[in-house]
Chain A
């Protein structure tokens, strides 16, 4: 069976918008992703080095804001759902399978280094900017938050500013 074509972008966007609206109506908060990464990191550190997380400022502030442990978190459940949903979608559209995707002129090493450092930057940036594309930019736009929209602008500005220098990775 051949991979199915992707959904029409506007239809997908409209559905995503309705989902975000429903999320805000039901839960009073938007979608997110990076917050779950934070929860996983904090949970891992709690297990590996409990003495350290008991004393470092970041973990203490986190514990103050999140009662009930780092994994009992709305975004953790949501991101688990994303994993399931994306898997189902991949199954239905026949896109499952271990694949290593990279630009046509990029080497494997380049791609791994890029993915690792890109992820690292997202980890740092999403903490500093209080959210990523979903939590700050998309959800911020839905509730017209000034901070969210500024973050969105700077994510895209930052990306366009450096895209030219890293074109070898992708084209």
Chain B
């Protein structure tokens, strides 16, 4: 499903979406009070923590929403823009912006809001910001080293910290809730309000329980991959799972007779372990490919016979179970894996004590397959790795 751009919403329609999103963004910021420096800088002097409340509520809501959408397979995070981490420029830039916040009283987004309702100081701020970008652009060679130093790629914070996604989300939500409580106390002290900052009124109770519920939900929405893998890896589960099987004989037959071009093989062997056995009509798949919106599209084409192949049947089973869990139907696995295919077909040796039936039917086919297949396999041109074509969306500022 998501992101809807570029498959469902085209690049040009995306600009219209940007405008509409911007309208809502502007409305919410203005309604929250972000068009006034008095409300914004209150955060730094303790008399008004609106910014912290709005900002953290929004961040936690969106974060939990992203986690939930990913959990239900509605959002492919490998396509979503994750801000890259350049450790030194992130810290230096942050400090400069912090100083700018106290001096200017706005941040870029809020200054646009304030200017829209006629705040002259915000217009001055925007002129300053444009000059600042110009200054950076003109002196870029001097910054370039710092700008590009310390690149960590695009890690997620829980990976950096080495904790689970759920735990981090819970901790952040818990920190936000505690902060809301703490700042209410500070606010009332600074403003000389005698009333207790947090009271047991329905409003606060509802707020607290909604917050707690959201925080705890982070444990319910485990990362999709993790929970599916856990199920597939459970002892005995994969062996007992009922899957559509294709016998080596049928597999060989289909390889030799596929005039309608229906057979597609998803080869789950690591490329280094192909050991001279390249399969025609195959593309190299990895488990990660199954989770990717773009590559897994190959599994959805109607009329195809999709066979999962790996050296051993257990690997095939696990992959097929993952695919089934992800909602892909009509997936077959090669019975006994490629190991058995090699033994029974490619290196076929008739047993001495075979029934007349076996000799007349099965054996005759296998002899034929053994003769014909090597040439076919030799000339086979596997499609190579299933390429992850869709690129991450370019975002950021």
- Interface residues of chain A, those whose CB is within 8 Å of chain B, are 6-7, 9-10, 12-35, 37-38, 40-42, 44-45, 56-59, 65, 72, 74-75, 77-90, 93, 95-103, 111-112, 114-163, 166-167, 169-171
Contacts and interface: CB of A to CB of B under 8 A. Distances in A.
B127 A116 contact: yes
Contacts of A163: 41, 44-45, 102
Given A28-B80, A143-B82, A154-B90, A98 B118 contact: yes
Contacts of B280: none
B62 A24 contact: yes
Contact of B132 (A20, A97, A123, A157): A123
Given A32-B397, A143-B66, A171 B45 contact: yes
B219 interface: no
Contacts of A17: 57-62, 65
Interface of B: 2-5, 9, 14-33, 35-39, 41, 43-45, 47, 50, 53-63, 65-66, 69, 74-75, 77, 79-87, 89-122, 124-138, 140-141, 143-144, 146-147, 152, 154-160, 165, 168-169, 172, 180, 207, 392-397
B396 A125 contact: no
Nearest to B132: A123
B81 A128 contact: no
Contact of B95 (A15, A143, A157): A157
A123 B130 contact: yes
Given A16-B32, A95-B35, A146-B156, A112 B131 contact: no
B111 A145 contact: no
Contacts, number: 555
Contacts of A129: 89-90, 92-94, 96-97
Which applies to chain B's interface (DSSP): helix, strand, loop or mixed?
Answer: helix
Contact of A115 (B38, B53, B82, B124): B124
Given A13-B54, A41-B134, A128-B147, A78 B65 contact: no
A120 B168 CA distance: 35
Contacts of B110: 133
A129 B16 CA distance: 28
Contacts of B138: 56, 58
Given A28-B393, A126-B97, A82 B113 contact: yes
A20 B21 CA distance: 9
B75 to A, nearest CB: 6
A78 to B, nearest CB: 4
Contacts of B394: 29, 65
A101 B37 contact: yes
Contact of A19 (B21, B56, B60, B77): B21
Given A19-B25, A86-B30, A147 B83 contact: yes
A43 B353 CA distance: 84
Nearest to A154: B94
Q: 3 closest pairs, A vs B, by CB?
A: A123-B132, A118-B104, A81-B22
Nearest to A104: B38
